Amino acid sequence: MTYNFDDPIERKGSQCIKYDAVGDFLGSDDLIPMWVADMDFRTPPFVMEALRKRLEHEVMGYPVRPEGFFNSIIDWNRRNHQWEVGRKWITFSPGVVPAVNMAVLAYTEPGDSIITQPPVYFPFFTAVKDHGRKLLYNQLILKNGRLCMDFDDLEKKASAGAKMIIISSPHNPGGSVWTQSELSRLAEICLKYKVLMVSDEIHCDLVYQPYKHIPLASLSPKIAAQTVTTIAPSKTFNLSGLSTAAVIISDEILRKKFTQVMEHLHIGGGSIMGNIALEAAYTGGDDWSKQLMAYLGKNLDFLEKYLEEKIHCVKMIRPEATFLVWLDCKGLNLPEDELKNFFLNTAKLGLNPGVMFGPGGEGYMRMNIGCTLATLNKALDQLRDAVDELGLGNRK
Ligand X SMILES: Cc1ncc(COP(=O)(O)O)c(C=O)c1O
Q: Which residues bind ligand X (CB under 6 A)?
A: 37, 95-97, 121, 168, 172, 200, 202, 232, 234, 240, 245
373 SS3 class: helix
CA 385/CA 383 separation, integer angstroms: 5
List, in sequence order, the alpha helices (H) in the chain: 17-20, 22-26, 45-55, 67-81, 96-107, 123-129, 151-159, 180-192, 221-224, 252-265, 272-284, 286-310, 336-341, 373-389
Give the sign of the dihedral formed by CA 135, CA 138, CA 144, CA 146. Answer: negative
Query: From the CB of 308, what's the least distance to ligand X, in Å?
Result: 27
198 SS3 class: strand
Query: From the CB of 243, what's the least distance to ligand X, in Å?
Result: 7
**Residue 204 vs 387, nearer CB to ligand X:** 204
CA 207/CA 161 separation, integer angstroms: 34
- Residue number closest to ligand X, CB atom: 95
**Residue 122 vs 342, nearer CB to ligand X:** 122
Nearest-CA neighbor of 171 among 361, 383, 371?
361
**Residue 168 vs 394, nearer CB to ligand X:** 168
Which value, to the nearest 10 degrees, does the dihedral of the CA atoms of residues 197, 172, 74, 107 take? 30
**Residue 273 vs 386, nearer CB to ligand X:** 273
Query: From the CB of 245, what's the least distance to ligand X, in Å?
Result: 5
Percentages of the chain per state (helix, strand, coil), in multiples of 5: 45, 15, 40
Contact by Cβ (8 Å): 139, 381: no
**Antiparallel, parallel or unpaired: β 245-248 and 227-231:** antiparallel
**Residue 38 vs 328, nearer CB to ligand X:** 38
Query: From the CB of 135, what's the least distance to ligand X, in Å?
Result: 16
Query: From the CB of 118, what's the least distance to ligand X, in Å?
Result: 13
**Residue 274 vs 284, nearer CB to ligand X:** 274
Give the number of C-alpha atoms closer than 13 A to the C-alpha of residue 179, restricted to the C-beta side. Answer: 7
Which value, to the nearest 10 degrees, does the dihedral of the CA atoms of residues 170, 379, 240, 289 take? -60
Contact by Cβ (8 Å): 171, 147: yes
Query: From the CB of 235, what's the least distance to ligand X, in Å?
Result: 7
Nearest-CA neighbor of 367 among 355, 356, 377, 353?
353
**Residue 133 vs 235, nearer CB to ligand X:** 235
- Angle (nearest 5°) at CA 19 between 314 and 206: 60
**Residue 186 vs 387, nearer CB to ligand X:** 186
**Residue 168 vs 275, nearer CB to ligand X:** 168
Query: From the CB of 272, what's the least distance to ligand X, in Å?
Result: 17
Query: From the CB of 4, what's the least distance to ligand X, in Å?
Result: 25
CA 56/CA 36 separation, integer angstroms: 32
Query: From the CB of 200, what's the least distance to ligand X, in Å?
Result: 5
Query: From the CB of 313, what's the least distance to ligand X, in Å?
Result: 27
Burial class of residue 209 (count of CB atoms within 10 Å of its CB; 0-12, 13-18, 19+) = exposed
**Residue 96 vs 376, nearer CB to ligand X:** 96
